[in-house]
Amino acid sequence: MARVAGKVALITGGASGLGLATAKLMAAEGARIVITDIQKNKGPGAAKEIGGDTLFLEHDVTSEERWQQVVVETEKKFGKLNIVVNSAGIGTEGTIEDTSLADFRKMMAINVEGTFLGCKYGIEAMKKHSEPSSIVNISSVAGLVSGFQMCAYSASKGAVRLLSKSVALHCARAGYNIRCNSVHPAFISTPMVEAPLAAASDPEKARKRLLRMVPIGKIGEPNDIGYMILYLASEESKFVTGAEMVVDGGCTAM
């Protein structure tokens, strides 16, 4: 049997990167898919690439009103919601002195508030039925360990990590059949990682420097994270909640 057969999954940031890779895997394993993204020019093409009855919705994850609308539109299209993957996010470097308050607030709004709203309104829809449901929040290894140039990003991803645990405990205590976990990638070949490498004065040197930070010796692929998300969305992980799943090629083992 397909691993998420009959489930309805809402995946933010689904027009590219980790979100798109995850949507493809879930669709192949039987889920009906809603991808949302602020990139309205890429969304329809991504939905076509995923195939099936995939729905694309333009979505600014910082808007509470839009989150409410997206959940309603998902239920209208597919009748329910079982899986929310909060994948939309941004990442920039900056020390505490380099980071402006406006940049810090933007990072927190997208990475933290967007995830908070996804959990809040995801639960509202999921608790209407008794089917097993799952929320998967994308954090980062930067939410576990930090660096001097990762002030705002680490703060946001650390918040996602502990928010996920709080959501997991709330749902368990309330008796909802809803689990919540966080996933912590390291360097994955997505636009967020590849664009800065390409823009470096010496891209090859920058890539080699990055690879020295990964014990396994290579940059991860989107599916490396997608398969972990698929596991957490499926009933294979029915006893896993409040966990932080690290997929980092050994980075945090050092």
Q: How far is CA 248 from the centre of its chain?
A: 15
Q: Which long-range contacts (CB under 8 A, 24 or more apart) does 117-121 make?
A: 117/61, 117/62, 117/64, 117/67, 118/12, 118/61, 118/67, 118/84, 118/86, 119/84, 119/86, 119/163, 119/164, 119/167, 119/180, 120/67, 121/67, 121/68, 121/70, 121/71
For position 191, what pLDDT does the model report? 80
Q: Is the dihedral of CA 167, 182, 94, 252 positive or negative?
A: positive
pLDDT in tens, 17-34: 999 999 999 999 999 999
Q: Is the pLDDT of residue 2 over 80?
A: yes
Going from N- to C-terminal start, the domains of the chain cover 8-248
Residues labelled catalytic: 153
pLDDT in tens, 100-152: 999 999 999 999 999 999 999 999 999 999 899 999 999 999 999 999 999 99
Q: What percent of the chain has a predicted confidence (pLDDT) above 70? A: 100
Q: Is the pLDDT of residue 4 over 80?
A: yes
CA–CA distance, 143 with 154 (Å, rounded to integer): 5
For position 192, what pLDDT does the model report? 80
Token pair listed for 207: 């890539």
For position 199, what pLDDT does the model report? 86
For position 57, what pLDDT does the model report? 98
Residues 6+ apart with CB under 8 A from 37: 12, 13, 14, 15, 16, 19, 43, 46, 56, 58, 59, 88
Please report the DSSP string for 214-249 in residue order.
-TTSS-B-HHHHHHHHHHHHSGGGTT--S-EEEEST
pLDDT in tens, 172-222: 999 999 999 999 999 999 888 888 888 889 988 889 888 898 999 999 999
For position 84, what pLDDT does the model report? 99
Query: Would you say the pTM of this structure is higher than 0.75?
Result: yes
For position 190, what pLDDT does the model report? 85
pLDDT in tens, 93-112: 999 999 999 999 999 999 99
pLDDT in tens, 48-83: 999 999 999 999 999 999 999 999 999 999 999 999
Domain range 8-248, CATH class: alpha beta
| Mean pLDDT along residues 152-172 | 98
